[in-house]
Amino acid sequence: MKRTEYEWNRVSLIRNGKPWFPVMGEFHYSRYRKQDWKKELQKMKAGGIDIVASYVIWIHHEEEEGRFFVGENCDLAHFLELIQELGMLMFLRIGPWIHGEVRNGGFPDWLLKKEFTARSNDPRYFCAVEKYYRKIAGIVEKFLWKNGGPIIGIQIENEYHGIPGMCKEEQNEHMKELARIARKVGLDTPYYTATGWGDAATGGMVPVMGGYCEAPWDSRICEIEASSNYVFTRERDDGRIGTDLAIGAGCDFDSSKFPFLLAELGGGVQVTAHRRPIVSGKDIGGMSLTKIGCGANLLGYYMYHGGTNPLGKYSTMQESKETGYPNDLPILNYDFMAPLGQYGQVRESYYQIRRYGMFLKDFGEELCGMNTWLPSGNSENPEDCRTLRYAVRHNGEKGYLFINNYQRRRVRKNFGNQSISFMIGTEKVTFEGLNIADGDYGFYPFGMEVGEAVLKTALATPLCRLQNENPVYVFYSDTDPKYEWITAPKSVDQVITITDKEALYASKLILDQEYLAVAEGILCTDQKEIVWYECPEKECPKIKIYPPLQAVPQGISEVGTEGIWTVYEITAKPIEEEQRLSVAYKGESAQCFYEGKCIADDFYNGQEWEIGHLEELDIEKLEFKINPFYKKGTIFLEVPEPEENQAEIMHKTVKRVYTYRLEI
């Protein structure tokens, strides 16, 4: 079997000579328990993730100099085995400095006690890095793409600005030397990248960008400026990333020579002691839509999956002011309000992102080659809430109209009965009857090929294509889709339209053919079985499927129809029940103890605190410490502040989710 070839050009990543638009999600293996890695990776894959990204965190592996730990949750080789088994790909972010809200940015304490300065061009520092890189190379060698493994990319360093006194040339030489050392020890992959925001040095490697809906590292304790990540622009840099550690402006590379790739599009944000935002699914969905409209050709989410900081032998592992960093973070909690949370719990943002992943799998190759056009009246001011925001991606013949009327923490004007027109070559494209309320965002096709038919315009969004003997194109809309055809489809069954909510909970089932299923939770298939994770119902949960199943698995029965859908009920018993404790409290922060050991902690932000991985514990024996809320005005909250000295549990609720396995 011929090996897949990976390359890149100035527009996009390339796979086997064709443009490729993957979705990448960050999941730190050393921040999650090994026994659940496979399940969580399956959930990521079902969410549309093609590439798993992870930091290799030096202090997690080598807290003691010369003792490189690869057991338990640091078993990187096993993590890579699972990625390969599931048919996923891997991007290793090997540092040596990674930030990642880790103690010392990931550096072991012993390294910082050496006579040389870390992150400098001192040969002694490079010598220490080479030893570290060799350790990584020894573990991952057989998993590199050149050896038939899943690792297609290496990221060097993170947000590199050197040390005081370094000029830009010296910074770039530093990055080049790190890349040279990595290749020298055998870490050779098709892609070598470096973070490019904030004027960071990239050393000529492919720059990857980022963007977050909030900035909890910002030192101010107030409402900050509206995020620019919700406006359509050609600017790739989010000037707010990394401003706690370095202040940079613009980019240290010619953007015309590199594709627009996102490695740190925020799947959420991690709260800090002084800033505690709440991230919603729409925060992530609206930002993702905007970045696609701006021309991004890789969506890489940080974090896609939350986790828990390990406890070190000599110290805790979180970022803290005590270690010279600007922010204090929880000792254990690294939930990040991510699409999949600290304990694998599924969030609304998971469903929002999955819709884009489904679209990109089926239509991303063509989208990669489409340029972004911005109207002359386009406003790049995120505080401007009265100008309609839209952009067009097209290839001169066909494309998509992107509209975003969502701005986090702001109220935008409603736009009723709007008409948007623009020229594509010599042809005028017009969308009429658009009713765009505050908070709406979406994209609509024009000139789209639907099999042998050609769609002129539609007020419906393409979700996916069921690539069976007779392909079916799936769109979603809550209003009149207004399909206008240049060449109409031969069969009315070639196009189906579902509701926005159905699309939110929709996933493909790959069985004897491709099916579309709608269910809350996460459905995974591999042609041999259907596994339903995070199902909220214990008895007889239902799934809507289109078209009807040709072969009905054991443990499932047809119970009726609902429009185009056939409704099935699960009669099998769940194979797993997972308990999570939801704690509503008011205070500054909280800890949960079991038999005297702190097993979970939280910084109050107004949301209920969820605690998982309780299957082997007696919930009745959990003990809680609620730390009183101190002087008002010392923390930024998006909810009303608790009363001074308030430390109170309002209520505790046990939530249960279930896993079903249906063999084909």
Q: Distance (Å, rounded) from C-alpha 42 to C-alpha 51?
A: 12
How crowded is residue 69: how many other Cβ atoms within 10 Å of its Cβ?
A: 15
Sheet holding 529-535, edge to edge: 522-525, 529-535, 648-663, 576-586, 609-611
CA atoms within a 13 Å half-sphere pointing along the CA-CB vector of 290: 32
Helix (H, G, I), strand (E, B) or coil at 205: coil
Are 610 and 341 contacting, i.e. CB atoms less than 8 angstroms apart?
yes
Q: Facing residues of 663 across strands? A: 529
Phi and psi at residue 242, in whole multiples of 5°?
75, 10
Residue for token pair 């953007």: 255
377 Rama sector, left if φ>0, alpha if ψ -120 to 50, beta otherwise? alpha
Domain ranges of the chain: 20-362, 576-663
Indicate the angle between helix axes 37-46 and 76-85, nearest 10 degrees. Answer: 40
CATH no. of 20-362: 3.20.20.80
Q: Which residues contact 598 (CB under 8 A, 6 or more apart)?
A: 331, 332, 591, 592
Q: Which of 604, 228, 268, 637 is closest to 410 using CA atoms? A: 228
Task: Read off the pTM.
Answer: 0.97
Other CB atoms within 10 A of residue 589 CB: 22
Q: What is the DSSP string of 224-288?
A: -PPPGGGS--S----TTTTTTT----S-SS-GGGS---EEEEESS----SSEE----HHHHHHHH
Tokens 């009857």 found at = 433
CA dihedral 567, 572, 578, 580 (to 10 degrees): 40
Tokens of 25: 């999600």
Q: How many CB atoms lie within 10 A of CB 590?
A: 22
Rounded to an integer, what distance in angstroms lies between the CA atom of residue 64 and that of residue 491? 67
Measured in degrees and rounded to the nearest 5, phi and psi for residue 519 equal -165, 145
Predicted pLDDT of residue 526: 81
pLDDT of 247: 52
The pLDDT of residue 157 is 98
DSSP bridge partners of 516: 508, 546
- In order of 136, 370, 443, 462, 502, the CA distances from 474 in angstroms are 44, 21, 14, 6, 11
Q: 50: helix, coil or strand? A: coil
**Would residue 87 be called left, alpha or beta, if left means φ above 0 and alpha means ψ between -120 and 50 degrees?**
left
Q: Average pLDDT across each block of 10 residues of the chain; the chain has 664 residues. List them in order.
A: 91 98 98 98 98 98 98 98 98 98 98 98 98 98 98 98 96 98 98 96 97 96 96 90 64 92 98 98 98 98 98 97 96 98 98 98 98 95 97 98 98 97 95 97 98 97 96 97 95 94 97 96 90 96 97 92 97 97 98 98 98 96 96 92 96 97 90
Give the pLDDT score at 527: 74
Cα 604 to its chain centre, rounded Å, is 23
Residue that has been written with the tokens 């024009």 in this structure = 446
